[in-house]
């Protein structure tokens, strides 16, 4: 199987007008101008000024659900949504039912994902039930360990397992991804308006920076929502502790707490939406490189669940099909450069999660490619999502710039809004050689 892609290419290092040849899943040649070979498939955008060929985009934080929550999403609908949204790789969180926090469940989940996923995927390991659940399969199958600090760490009396997990992550060179919120600061049920103040996030950010300093593992703080948290991480890195990275999500940049008034439960997410000043600081930190990654935190729930009153509705926003267009809109507004966009979506995710041979368009790398039309304008229409969660706080928003093709190891999974049903093509990124 061979694929030739022609057009304007940003390799992640430079912009060229040229061609990419993908053979046996990997990029065998990148050249300025033409490559004269006969191939089984050809994609030619050389006459389209506004179309740019990019290194495949990666989402490091998604809840593809499946198993007992497959009514919310499953590996097929979730990876179809990811392909439609321009992603070549998506990483699945462990808070499924049952949780991915013992070896058996991990193996079962990997087998299920292998059968169903259309695009490549990564798995996270959850906080284990006991110290016996640290088999080699974690290193073999997982890209990181995910800690929900509010339930796994704070109030956890099992010091043996806490000690084990941090030293294990260091020894095996597995990053720890943290949801940073200290429940001591929660008010009431923790699930109503303003029940989760920024102090909760700030406290957990500070605690985990100290923990990672002590144990030496790579700490990645996910979905950071407040300006102060970013400033603390920035200062920590400035002081020489560079083993810490962070991401934020579009909802923390584009929406503030006032959105809750008209969007109700559709704007309910943990950590919650903050103030406009936080949104602006996050945007600034996107531009200047302090924020390493944009993740979607795609957290689908059923429409009926989200229709419940705010306090009872589950938290989470589906983001796989809105994140890339929203960020391309920022590129079009000159808020961030295309180079920054590629760092946020390809280069940094590959680097931080140690995903081999992706993140750039380069000979010898996997043929993972996302093609975007920078000038395409449309309105977000949640009713047409591939995701089972057909609602969005960004419904009807105008975007400029969207993914028009997703290519995974040389196979075209999405082209011009059509997702081809290559169920089972997806491969665990840990199997990359």
Specify the residue, 78 or 367, whose C-beta has the smaller distance to Zn ion. 78
Helix (H) or strand (E) holding 159: helix 159-172
Which residues of this protein are in contact with ligand NCD, per CB under 6 A? 63, 95, 179, 269-270, 297, 299, 314-316
- What's the sign of the alpha-carbon dihedral 409, 360, 347, 12? negative
Close Cβ partners of 262 (under 8 Å, ≥ 6 residues apart): none
Whether residue 337 contacts residue 424, with contact meaning beta carbons closer than 8 Å, is answered with: no
- The pattern of x and - marking residues 40 through 79 that bind Zn ion according to CB under 5 A reads ----------------------------------------
Q: Shortest Cβ distance from residue 318 to ligand NCD (Å)?
A: 10
133 binds, among ligand NCD, Zn ion, none (CB under 5 to 8 A by kind): none
Whether residue 2 contacts residue 25, with contact meaning beta carbons closer than 8 Å, is answered with: no
Q: How many residues does the chain have?
A: 433
370 binds, among ligand NCD, Zn ion, none (CB under 5 to 8 A by kind): none
Q: Shortest Cβ distance from residue 126 to ligand NCD (Å)?
A: 12
Q: Which residues pair with 211 in a beta bridge?
A: none
Specify the residue, 7 or 144, whose C-beta has the smaller distance to ligand NCD. 144
DSSP E strands in 222-335: the ranges are 244-248, 293-294
Specify the residue, 270 or 391, whose C-beta has the smaller distance to ligand NCD. 270
Q: Would you state the torsion angle of the CA atoms of residues 419, 332, 292, 56, taken in this order, to the nearest 10 degrees?
A: 30
Q: Is 143 helix (H, G, I), strand (E, B) or coil?
A: strand
Specify the residue, 135 or 264, whose C-beta has the smaller distance to ligand NCD. 264
315 binds, among ligand NCD, Zn ion, none (CB under 5 to 8 A by kind): ligand NCD
User: Catalytic amino acids?
Assistant: 297
Own/partner pairs, 262-266, CB within 8 angstroms, 24+ separation: 263/393, 264/310, 264/313, 265/306, 265/307, 265/308, 265/309, 265/310, 265/313, 266/306, 266/317, 266/391, 266/392, 266/393
Specify the residue, 92 or 373, whose C-beta has the smaller distance to Zn ion. 92
- The pattern of x and - marking residues 283 through 322 that bind Zn ion according to CB under 5 A reads --------------x-------------------------
Q: Do the strands 41-44 and 2-10 form a parallel or antiparallel pair, or are they unpaired?
A: parallel
- Closest residue to Zn ion, judged by C-beta, is 179
161 binds, among Zn ion, ligand NCD, none (CB under 5 to 8 A by kind): none
253 binds, among Zn ion, ligand NCD, none (CB under 5 to 8 A by kind): none
- What's the sign of the alpha-carbon dihedral 66, 69, 157, 102? negative
Specify the residue, 255 or 371, whose C-beta has the smaller distance to Zn ion. 255
Q: Shortest Cβ distance from residue 120 to ligand NCD (Å)?
A: 21
Q: Shortest Cβ distance from residue 289 to ligand NCD (Å)?
A: 24
Specify the residue, 6 or 99, whose C-beta has the smaller distance to ligand NCD. 99
Separation of alpha carbons 136 and 124, rounded Å:
14
427 binds, among ligand NCD, Zn ion, none (CB under 5 to 8 A by kind): none
Q: Shortest Cβ distance from residue 29 to Zn ion (Å)?
A: 39
Q: Shortest Cβ distance from residue 251 to ligand NCD (Å)?
A: 9
Q: Is 96 helix (H, G, I), strand (E, B) or coil?
A: coil
Which pair of structure tokens corresponds to residue 301? 């729930």
- The pattern of x and - marking residues 146 through 185 that bind Zn ion according to CB under 5 A reads ---------------------------------x------
Which pair of structure tokens corresponds to residue 111? 């087998």
95 binds, among Zn ion, ligand NCD, none (CB under 5 to 8 A by kind): ligand NCD
Q: Shortest Cβ distance from residue 316 to Zn ion (Å)?
A: 7
CA–CA distances in Å: residue 307 to residues 264, 271, 304: 9, 20, 5
Footprint of Zn ion on this chain (CB under 5 A)? 179, 297
């Amino acid at each position: 199987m061979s694929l030739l892609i022609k057009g304007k290419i940003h390799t992640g290092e430079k912009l060229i007008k040229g061609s990419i040849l993908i053979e046996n899943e990997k990029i065998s040649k990148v050249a300025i101008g033409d490559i004269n070979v006969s191939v089984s498939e050809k994609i030619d955008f050389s006459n389209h000024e506004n179309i740019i060929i990019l290194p495949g985009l990666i989402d490091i934080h998604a809840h593809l659900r499946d198993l007992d929550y497959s009514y919310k999403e499953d590996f097929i609908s979730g990876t179809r949504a990811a392909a439609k949204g321009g992603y070549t790789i998506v990483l699945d969180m462990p808070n499924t039912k049952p949780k991915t926090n013992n070896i058996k469940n991990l193996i079962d989940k990997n087998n299920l994902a292998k059968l169903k996923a259309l695009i490549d995927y990564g798995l996270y390991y959850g906080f284990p039930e006991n110290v016996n659940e640290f088999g080699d399969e974690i290193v073999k199958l997982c890209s990181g360990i995910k800690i929900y600090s509010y339930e796994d760490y704070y109030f956890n009396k099992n010091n043996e397992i806490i000690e084990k997990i941090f030293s294990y992550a260091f020894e095996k060179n597995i990053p720890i991804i943290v949801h940073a919120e200290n429940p001591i600061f929660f008010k009431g049920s923790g699930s109503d308006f303003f029940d989760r103040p920024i102090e909760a996030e700030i406290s957990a950010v500070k605690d985990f920076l100290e923990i990672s300093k002590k144990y030496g593992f790579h700490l990645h703080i996910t979905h950071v929502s407040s300006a102060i948290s970013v400033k603390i991480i920035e200062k920590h890195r400035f002081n020489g502790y560079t083993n810490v990275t962070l991401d934020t999500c579009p909802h923390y940049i584009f929406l503030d707490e006032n959105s809750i008034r008209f969007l109700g439960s559709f704007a309910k997410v943990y950590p919650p939406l903050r103030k406009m000043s936080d949104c602006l600081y996050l945007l600034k930190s996107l531009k200047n490189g302090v924020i390493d990654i944009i993740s979607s935190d795609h957290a689908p729930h059923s429409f009926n669940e989200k229709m419940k009153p705010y306090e009872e509705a589950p938290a989470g926003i589906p983001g796989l099909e809105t994140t890339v267009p929203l960020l391309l809109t920022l590129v079009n507004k000159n808020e961030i450069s295309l180079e920054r966009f590629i760092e946020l979506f390809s280069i940094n995710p590959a680097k931080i999660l140690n995903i081999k041979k992706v993140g750039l368009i380069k000979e010898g790398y996997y043929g993972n490619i996302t093609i975007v039309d920078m000038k395409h304008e449309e309105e977000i229409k949640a009713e047409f999502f591939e995701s089972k969660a057909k609602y969005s706080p960004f419904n009807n928003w105008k975007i400029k710039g969207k993914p028009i093709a997703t290519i995974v190891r040389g196979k075209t999974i999405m082209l011009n809004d059509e997702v081809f049903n290559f169920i089972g093509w997806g491969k665990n990124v840990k199997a990359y050689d």
